[in-house]
Chains A and B, each alone.
Chain A
Amino acid sequence: MGRALTLFRHRHGGLAVLALVIALLPLSLPNRYFYDVAILMGLNAIVCVGLNLLIGFAGQISLGHAGFFGLGAYASAILSTNYGWPSVVALIAAAALVGVLALALGRPILRLKGHYLAMATLGLGIIIAVVIATEERLTGGPDGMSVAPLVLFGVALQGERVWYWLVGALLLGTVWLAFNLIDSPLGRALRAIHGSEVAAEAMGIDIARAKLLIFVVSAILAALAGSLTAHYAGFITPGKVGFLHSIELVTMVVLGGMASTYGAVAGAAILTALPQLLTVFKDYESLVFGVVLMATMIFMPRGLVPTLARLMGRRT
């Protein structure tokens, strides 16, 4: 009981700290460029919090989430720009479309385990990416397409400051949702599945349903972040849909610390900011990035946030 209480306090404390960071960060953002990086951090963090539910808590790997991200982005872009749908309706329709797709494809795919699941999701992501890059009439092909701005209550959202607060609020909402999911019966079922699928099934957990649900939730969050990214940037290219972006997302989750929601946020923030910081190394940029990634994982094999949390726990 006592432990549960600390956990409870810890969790709400964490949310408060995150809200405070989001609220105070603008004080240290000198110009639009920094706002831009912060917004991208937040959008990636939304994807990673969802992906972490799937990878970190349920133990099911996905190397195809950039596909869902891209499908959300392009569906939203095509519906609002080419067909003139109101952008909010397009965004919701895109998220629903991706949700239905994940529901239909998740059932056969999630029966696979471990590296085979990784392969299947990878294949799925690549199929989506190739289709988007090839269907030029609809998507503009490899050159990408421009996207209409997001209109909320009759006002077009433009400018980094407005977007910063929107993304910040959505990130808080996503984290709050993740915590509630983790503590729900579904969350406990997922952790049981992570421990042992057979044992979970023997306890009466419908493992196929639980895995499918979290797969759909994480796909919808990715689609939502994709739509927002497209509307925010005003432009979208197939690069954001590809295999490398999927790998990047998983790397964010693992670097931050699996099964740690704040880890997913931290991992997304760090790996979004790092390439920007490393531009000072010019030609050495990707070499330094690779070495930093390797070194972090070698010295903090459980990820940043869990390792730091343990260090702090020891001290106090």
Chain B
Amino acid sequence: MAEFLQFLFSGLTVGATYALVALGFAIIYNASGVINFAQGEFVMAGGMASAFLVAAGVPLPLAVITAVAAGVAIGVALEKFAIEPARGAPVVTLIIITIGASIAIRGVAQLLLGKQFHTVPPFTGDHPIVIGGATILPQSLWVLGASIAVVIGLSAFFSRSKLGKAMLATANNRHAAQLVGINVRFILLLSFGLSALLGAVAGVLISPITLTSYDVGIMVGLKGFAAAMLGGLGNGVGAIAGGLLLGLAEALGAGYLSSAYKDVIAFVIILAVLVFMPGGLFGKVSAERV
């Protein structure tokens, strides 16, 4: 039982970061139809910037806030200087542009901070807390708590604020949204900023546990994408469920079956789900109009 709890804690912690990244994929996909392959780089940027700032002597809270702001700035710049100039290009072209951007962002990180691993100190100490025989790091609680707070904030933003509703309207029907006076170009910019925010938050939260380096974004981005697809692309609830499920599948698979094959286990589950539910767990299968 203690063992199971241990796997559960680690699965939920990693799953929460996957969920934040998956939400980022969903937001950009809804606004533009694009799968943003640079999503993982926002996570890397958040973690690396906070590591750099802490090492430079900046107090941790300030470093965290600045690192998240830096992540958002990268997201906004990506939309402004790479996606907007290519307006009207086929979706697959836009996707390749985000791949180019992710390579360039990794290049900059490597240039500024080198190839070695960097550490970020945990927010509130590293004395494990014992629950039911299993231990959990205080940083894991930070990851879970902050992720829940972000999700609540996000759902309030989408259901309460005018801007959030405008984003939903744009996702639903871009032309209709434009017709009722929504500035869809600004919405696109906002969606990149918002999803970079989610990625950078995930990055600063998880880095004290997993360490960070210039290339961590590749794997995190991949898992976030998988989580978003597992839940159903463009579906917020699906992204969160997909992230948590993927984290749990990995942790339990690594714990009970084989740590070398944890990714295989996770992807076999995803393939099986997609074969039987071609729109993901929460996706709707829509009829194609001719």
Contacts and interface: CB of A to CB of B under 8 A. Distances in A.
A binds B: yes
Interface of A: 55, 61, 108-109, 111-113, 115-116, 118-120, 122-124, 126-127, 130-131, 134, 196-199, 202, 243-244, 247, 250-251, 254-255, 258, 283-294, 297-298, 301-303
16 contacts: A55-B92, A61-B92, A112-B278, A113-B278, A124-B267, A127-B267, A134-B261, A196-B290, A254-B92, A254-B96, A294-B104, A297-B89, A297-B93, A297-B96, A298-B85, A303-B93
B65 interface: no
B57 to A, nearest CB: 26
Nearest to B229: A119
B264 A131 contact: yes
Interface of B: 29, 35, 37, 82, 85-86, 88-90, 92-93, 96-97, 99-108, 110-111, 218, 222, 225-226, 229, 233, 260-261, 263-264, 267-268, 270-271, 274-275, 278-280, 288, 290
Nearest to B232: A116
A284 B100 contact: no
Contacts of A202: 290
A289 B107 contact: yes
Given A108-B275, A127-B264, A287-B111, A297 B100 contact: yes
Contacts of B226: 119, 122-123
A293 B99 contact: yes
Given A116-B274, A290-B105, 13 more contacts: A113-B278, A115-B29, A116-B278, A120-B275, A127-B268, A247-B99, A285-B107, A287-B104, A287-B107, A290-B106, A290-B107, A294-B100, A294-B101
B263 A130 contact: yes
Given A130-B261, A131-B264, A290 B225 contact: no
Contacts of A116: 229, 233, 274, 278-280
Contacts of A288: 107
A116 B284 CA distance: 13
B290 A126 contact: no
A19 B13 CA distance: 57
Contacts of B218: 243-244
Given A284-B107, A298-B86, A115 B290 contact: no
Contacts, number: 137
Given A109-B275, A112-B274, A301 B107 contact: no
A113 B268 CA distance: 18
A119 B225 contact: yes
B35 A115 contact: yes
Contacts of A258: 90, 92
A25 B288 CA distance: 49
A39 B226 CA distance: 35
B264 A286 contact: no
Contacts of A109: 271, 275
Which of A119, A197, A284 is the most central at the interface, judged by chain B CB atoms within 10 Å of its CB? A119
Nearest to A199: B290
Contacts of B97: 293-294, 297-298
Contacts of A112: 274-275, 278
A130 B264 CA distance: 7
A124 B37 CA distance: 18
Contacts of A286: 103-104, 106-107, 110
A210 to B, nearest CB: 17
Contacts of A289: 103-104, 107
A52 to B, nearest CB: 12
Contacts of B35: 115, 118
A289 B110 CA distance: 14
B270 A123 contact: yes
Given A116-B229, A301-B86, A291 B100 contact: yes
